[in-house]
Amino acid sequence: MTEEGSRLEVLVIDDETQIRRLLRVTLESAGYRVREADAGLPGLAEVTFRRPAAVILDLGLPDISGCDVLKRLREWSQVPVLVLSVLGQDDQKIGALDAGADDYLTKPFSGGELLARLRVMLRRGQPSDDLKVIRFGEVEVDLVRRVVTRGGQDVKLTAKEYALLRLLAVNAGKVIVHRQILRELWGPNAEEQTQYLRVYIGRLRQKLEENPNNPRHLRTESGIGYRLVVE
């Protein structure tokens, strides 16, 4: 066993027993811990309770499609997802990427390529050592596990809420201007849509601030942007 995936857990969602067996052998040989689900809905439940470091998701599942799994997952989680497809599923691959997949592999695939793509996905979202956990008030933002807690209890955030909080957290103490936030979270065509930010900042304050109407941490810099104050 190598140290590549030490202590990191990967969830495999695939209804083919042989594929799950192959993935387990490949991943465990590289040091990952592996969980399995043979359908989409059990897979979503596993993500909720296990908080894996990454998900390997087959597009063809017996209950709901892989794209539907992704859409539901991206409502609240940014866990890296590697999609598995078969030849001729180009439209589904595009749909999966549009729904929030980080990468895809076409069956059959080599174990080496699978592990390489998994490493890239995990590296892409990995914060630096001094930015793994951000704390303010009773809130803790674990940027490695993508988990937010308040007073030790999990806080359910949508994918967009988490992305906004993460952007503020990694720039804690700095003012992030409206246009930068809108460009990074909604794309360049949304730079004038400041109403998006008011709505999402309001949601975060309701979930994270002791007094949402007089926020201590999620501060508005009038006419400029927002700042996360952590002291």
**Domain map of the chain by residue range?**
9-124, 129-228
What does the pLDDT look like over 186-224, one tens digit per residue? Answer: 776 777 788 888 999 999 999 999 999 999 999 998 888
- The residues that bridge with 57 in the sheet, in sequence order, are 13, 83
> Which CATH number, 3.40.50.620, 2.60.120.380, 3.40.50.150, 1.10.10.10, labels domain 129-228?
1.10.10.10
- Tens digits of per-residue pLDDT, 109-122? 899 999 999 998 88
Question: Does the pTM exceed 0.75?
Answer: no
Query: How many angstroms separate the CA atoms of 53 and 117, rounded?
Result: 14
Fold observed for domain 9-124: Rossmann fold (3.40.50)
Alpha-carbon torsion (93, 96, 102, 106), positive or negative: negative
Which residues, 6+ apart, have CB-to-CB distance to 109 below 8 Å? Answer: 84
